[in-house]
Amino acid sequence: MSVLRFEPGEAARALPRNEQGYFAKYGVTFQDVLPDDLELLRRWRNEPAIREAMVFQEEITEAMQAVWYASLDPAKDLYSVLLFRGERIGLSQLRHIDRARRTAEGGIAIWQPQHQNGLLPYRVAIAGMDWDFLESGFESLTVTVRKTNSRARRFVRSLGYHLEDPDPAGEILRGRVDAESYFRAVEPYREIVLAEMRELGEPIPRGF
């Protein structure tokens, strides 16, 4: 099985951002978070099953949500509502963006159990990370997960992240992945996603 190779300028650069503030791939649309989205995001973020999986586990108040949204710096923070088949299914983050070092911290949260299983999380992650490495030109991505979140640990490792424990007495693990490791790790998952899309008659993006 050969590793997918993408060069800048190829048709495989698959997630052009447009003036409406969204991009899409593998049936998933990433749309900029707008003020009208905040209450829905807050409500889902406060669901016990979601909150317990997060590094920050306090319940989010309306005031806290407003302060967070006002603090976002477009040069350093990119949060997107995830849509699949017309339904808002979660949130993606790209924060601590460092253009000079070409790195950022990524993450996704998918709200409902019926969307957390199967291939949908891979559709989301591969679409987003393709954009990060191919369109944004990042050289590496980082991630933070709770030690108790075994699902997240398995998932990020399957995307090529190498996890390290910065504090054995602490509660979090930190991971990093470079472009080469990412593309090598996700190739089999990409092929499975594409097979599913073909079975369902969904349009296949150019360059995959």
31-82 pLDDT tens trace: 999 999 999 999 999 999 888 888 888 899 999 999 999 999 988 999 999 9
pTM of the model: 0.87
Which residue ranges make up each domain of the chain? 22-199
According to the per-residue pLDDT averaged within each range, which of 5-9, 21-25, 100-104, 167-171 is highest? 100-104
Cβ pair 54, 112 in contact under 8 A: no
In this structure, whether the domain defined by 22-199 belongs to CATH 3.40.630.30 is answered with yes
91-104 pLDDT tens trace: 999 999 999 999 99
| Phi–psi pair at 69, nearest 5 degrees | -65, -40
Structural tokens at position 207: 């360059």
Cβ pair 107, 124 in contact under 8 A: no
144-180 pLDDT tens trace: 999 999 999 999 999 999 999 999 999 999 999 999 9
144: β partners: 174
Task: Give the integer Cα–Cα distance in Å for 29 and 36.
Answer: 17
Task: Give the integer Cα–Cα distance in Å for 79 and 202.
Answer: 26
E strand spans, the chain:
22-25, 28-32, 78-84, 87-98, 103-110, 140-146, 162-164, 172-178
